[in-house]
Amino acid sequence: MFYRIPKFNYYRASTLNEALDLVSSLNDFKVLAGGTDLVIDLKVRRYTVKNVVDISRIKELDYIADDGDRVRIGALTKLQSIADSPIIREKAPVLADAVREMASWQIRNVATIGGNLCNASPAADTAPPLYVLNATLRLVSKEGEREVPITEFFLGPRKTALRSRELLKEIVIPHEPDCGASFLKLGRRNSFTLSVVAVATLVKVDKNKFADVRIALNSVAPTPVRARKAEECLKGKEISLNNITEAAKLVLHDISPISDVRASAEYRKDMSVVLTRDSLIKSLERVGIKV
């Protein structure tokens, strides 16, 4: 394994339109946003491409907008901006929680949220919170725009629903005021590490019952996943430690972890259950309920 970055043609877009022109005229390309994944992947030859389209300087895709009932995050928004944003902290705190634990300060100041999603790593830490927030992704091409729910965006490791001429423009997060959400990550150390398992949960409560429950995990399947079985099991049920514990076990129906250098499949399975339960308890705490 020799780490020489292979030769490629380099194109730089300074506006979204320029970028769309480039991606519709070029073949065999990769899009460079923050580059914290792509540059390494080119060096280790995960990808060999003729062309690289650098979109990192497109200012118009770097924003966090508060529209009242929803928050929109431009695809080129840096992770650190998300962690620091008062809007995110108020309206989607679970995303800020996840982002704060990602990588290091230096990398968070280069890496973008769009890059984290489009790279489509099964371990993407922005995915579980966006899953439970019911985020949608706005994809754009010269033909126009379309919206895809985030749960339909990931197709497999490094594979997304993006068409070849499409770019991710923004992430739209509906604002849901009466919910509690939390993110828990188990890594091999306390910071700057890839998830062995990470879980985000979101709960809505009505008279000591679960009105709505959303659970998402990463690193335990080819893509980040929603744990639908466990969610369904809790909906309408009374809030109790026993119900939470039993439901958490059902995440196993929606995950299919592998063994690798970071952890065994068996450990990941067991930890998915533990973290789901812990995260549900924490989410409930955030709406003032102690179980």
Contacts with other proteins, residue ranges (CB under 8 A): 1-4, 186, 188-194, 196, 261-264, 267, 270-271, 274-275
Closer Cβ to other proteins, 10 or 192, answer by number: 192
First CA to last CA across the chain, in angstroms? 51
Closer Cβ to other proteins, 105 or 152, answer by number: 105
Coil/strand/helix, residue 267? helix
Coil/strand/helix, residue 138? strand
Residue 60 Cα distances to 18, 48, 57, 84, 202, angstroms:
12, 29, 9, 19, 31
CB of 138 to other proteins, least distance (A): 31
CB of 44 to other proteins, least distance (A): 9
CB of 190 to other proteins, least distance (A): 4
CA–CA distance, 163 with 266 (Å, rounded to integer): 35
CB of 102 to other proteins, least distance (A): 13
Q: If 0-12 CB within 10 Å is exposed, 13-18 middle and 19+ buried, where does residue 114 land?
A: buried
Residue type, 147: E
Closer Cβ to other proteins, 50 or 163, answer by number: 50
Closer Cβ to other proteins, 101 or 212, answer by number: 101
CB of 84 to other proteins, least distance (A): 19
CB of 110 to other proteins, least distance (A): 16
Closer Cβ to other proteins, 2 or 144, answer by number: 2
Bridge pairing between strands 209-218 and 225-226: antiparallel
Tokens of 269: 């399975």
Coil/strand/helix, residue 7? coil
Bridge pairing between strands 167-174 and 70-74: antiparallel
CA–CA distance, 207 with 215 (Å, rounded to integer): 21
The CA angle 129-135-137, to the nearest 5 degrees, is 120
User: Residue 243 forms beta bridges with which residues?
Assistant: none
CB of 269 to other proteins, least distance (A): 11
Closer Cβ to other proteins, 226 or 277, answer by number: 277
Contacts of 218 (CB under 8 A, 6+ apart): 122, 123, 124, 125, 127, 128, 195, 197, 198, 224, 225
Closer Cβ to other proteins, 85 or 272, answer by number: 272
Block residue for tokens 């179980």: 291
CB of 194 to other proteins, least distance (A): 7
Closer Cβ to other proteins, 6 or 236, answer by number: 6
